[in-house]
Amino acid sequence: MPDNRYEKTPRPGQERYVAPPEEVKVGVIDAVDTSEAPSSLWADAWRDMRHRALFWVSAALIVFVVLMAVFPGLFTTTSPTECHLEDSLGGPTAGHIFGFDKQGCDIYARAVYGARASVTVGILSTVFVVVIGTLIGAIAGYFGGWLDTVLSRFTDIFFAVPFVLAAIVIMSLLDDRNALVVAVVLAVFGWTSIARITRGAVLGVKNNEFVTAAKALGMSRGAILGKHVLPNSAAPIIVYATVALGTFIVAEATLSFLGIGLPTSTVSWGGDLDKAQESIRIAPEIMIYPATALALTVLSFIMMGDVVRDALDPKARKR
């Protein structure tokens, strides 16, 4: 993976403030350029990211997957729900390049159409857990004291609820079962982990010198949390969230398995993975397609997460 963080010659107007010791002379490090106006965190990050190949590769993959989710018709003209039992487990033929699953449905079409439900579930539940988890974890970790106690114990209580029980109860109370509802169910039990991780990361960061410095400069506590502490705690959150995205898509399969997931007429990778298990002894290859689609999606988000983390890391950024 190309990485220009270690570029030898800094661009004009920008200086490293931290760099690998073996490559940069002390004088260069100390020469902090103060002539340029301070820029926002995200603008900096963007400037950094757009020069990285990895960013464009992962962005292209994400665009590809999202395009598939929004306009599946662009990728196939075969219907994923037109299934004839006589085609059951049939091999590839013209127009059906991956062959057929047990029900006689076109595997390629199902892999394409499955993107919508699975990507929606994956992204939505990840966004939900990151928002709730980060908020609660950051407040608990940063402010500490009784706030930490209350929020952390609240997290513990939620952790106590077995996923299957809660899913059965929530799904049966709701008549409508769509990707949003599934995402909410997954999120209600996913946020506790990310809250703990955020809290831990914030605890580790909040005693850093730059936080003390910001305090000394009279910055408000909220501003310090938002501008300094959170960006520096982002790495584990991003890592956890990008991996969780994949596990959420697989978890949807667990719900389908229990009969409380998406309706059978909704095509999803999770559901197809679950169904493929039945034929694992005679046709294990059926599982490869939804699993590959899932792996590619997770890969693109993990790579994107890596790039974003690098870009947000003030130690690695040029000021």
Partner 1 sequence: MTPRKRLVGLGAFALASSLVLTACGGGNSGDDATGDGASTGIVTISNGEPQNPLVGSMTNETEGGLVVQQLYSGLVYYDAEGVVHNEIAESIESDDNQTWTITIQDGWEWSDGTPVTAANFVDAWNWAGYGPNGAKGAGFFEPIEGFAEAQGVPEFDEEGNVSGMAEEPTAETLSGLEVVSDTEFTVKLTQPESDFPIRLGYSAYFPLPDAYYDDTAAFGEKPVTNGPYELESWEHDSEIKLVPNEAYDGPRKAQNGGLDFIVYTDENTSYADLQGGNLDILENVPTSAMSTFEEDLGDGAISEPSASFAAMTVPEWLPEFQGDAGHKRRQALSMAINREQITETIFAGTRIPATDFTSPVINGWTGEIPGNEVTTYNAEEAKKLWDEANEEDPLPDDYVLTIHTNTDSDHQAWVEAVCNGYINDLDIKCEMTGYPTFDEVLNERDKGPDGKVDGLFRAGWSADYPSLQNYLGPLYSKAALAGSNDGRYESDEFDAALKEAAAAPSLDEANVLYNKAQEILFKDLPGIPLWYYSTTAGHSENVDNVEFGWDSMPLLYEVTKTE
Partner 2 sequence: MLWYIGRRLLQVIPVFLGATLLLYGLVFLRPGDPVAALGGERGLSPAAELAIREAYHLDQPFFMQYLYFLKGVFTFDMGVTFTGRPVVDVIAQAFPVTFQLALMAIVIETVFGIGFGLYAGIRKGKLFDSTVLLWSLLLISLPTFVIGFVMQAVVGVQLGWLPITAGRDPDFISLLMPAIVLATTSFAYILRLTRTSVVENITADFVRTARAKGLPRGKVMTRHVLRNSLIPVVTFIGIDLGNLMAGSIVTEGIFNINGVGGTLYQAIVRGENVTVVSLSTVLVVVYIFANLLVDVFYAVLDPRIRYA
Interaction site with partner 1 (CB under 8 A): 81-86, 88, 102-104, 168, 172, 257-260, 263-265, 275, 277-282
- Interface with partner 2 includes 200 (CB under 8 A)? yes
The secondary structure of the chain in percent helix, strand, coil, rounded to multiples of 5, reads 70, 0, 30
Question: Of partner 1, partner 2, none, which one sits near residue 9, judging by CB under 5 to 8 A according to partner kind?
Answer: none
- State the minimum distance, in angstroms, from the CB of residue 110 to partner 2: 16
Question: Of partner 1, partner 2, none, which one sits near residue 203, judging by CB under 5 to 8 A according to partner kind?
Answer: partner 2
Q: How far apart are CA 220 and CA 143, in angstroms?
A: 12
Question: Of partner 2, partner 1, none, which one sits near residue 309, judging by CB under 5 to 8 A according to partner kind?
Answer: partner 2
Q: How far apart are CA 301 and CA 285, in angstroms?
A: 25
Contact call for residues 281 and 102 (beta carbons, < 8 A) = no
- Closest to 117 in 3D by CA, of 275, 264, 287: 264
- Interface with partner 2 includes 68 (CB under 8 A)? no
- State the minimum distance, in angstroms, from the CB of residue 268 to partner 1: 14
- State the minimum distance, in angstroms, from the CB of residue 164 to partner 2: 5
Site string for partner 2, 206-225 (x = CB under 8 A): -xx-----------------
- State the minimum distance, in angstroms, from the CB of residue 82 to partner 2: 26
CB atoms closer than 10 angstroms to residue 21: 9
- Interface with partner 2 includes 226 (CB under 8 A)? no
- Closest to 286 in 3D by CA, of 78, 86, 63, 87: 87
* 296-310 CB burial, b ≥16 within 10 A, e <16: ebbebbbbbbbbbbb
Residue type, 233: S
Q: How far apart are CA 146 and CA 152, in angstroms?
A: 10
- State the minimum distance, in angstroms, from the CB of residue 128 to partner 2: 18
Question: Of partner 2, partner 1, none, which one sits near residue 160, judging by CB under 5 to 8 A according to partner kind?
Answer: partner 2
- Interface with partner 2 includes 238 (CB under 8 A)? yes
- Interface with partner 2 includes 183 (CB under 8 A)? no
CB neighbour list of residue 263: distance below 8 Å, 6 or more residues apart:
177
Size of the site for partner 2 (CB under 8 A): 68
Instruction: For residue 5, count CB atoms less than 10 angstroms from its CB and return exposed for 0-12, middle for 13-18, buried for 19 or more.
Output: middle
CB neighbour list of residue 81: distance below 8 Å, 6 or more residues apart:
105, 265, 267
Q: Which stretch binds partner 2 (CB under 8 A): 36-44, 156-164, 179-187, 214-222?
A: 156-164
Question: Of partner 1, partner 2, none, which one sits near residue 250, judging by CB under 5 to 8 A according to partner kind?
Answer: partner 2
Looking up tokens 């500490």, which residue turns up? 144
Question: Of partner 2, partner 1, none, which one sits near residue 103, judging by CB under 5 to 8 A according to partner kind?
Answer: partner 1
Asked whether the CA dihedral 113, 118, 121, 126 is positive or negative, the reply is: negative
Contact footprint for partner 2 (CB under 8 A): 1-3, 18-22, 149, 152-154, 156-166, 168-169, 172-173, 192-193, 196-197, 199-201, 203-204, 207-208, 235-236, 238-240, 242-243, 246-247, 250, 253-254, 273-274, 277, 280, 287, 291-292, 294-295, 298-299, 302, 306, 309-310, 313, 315-316
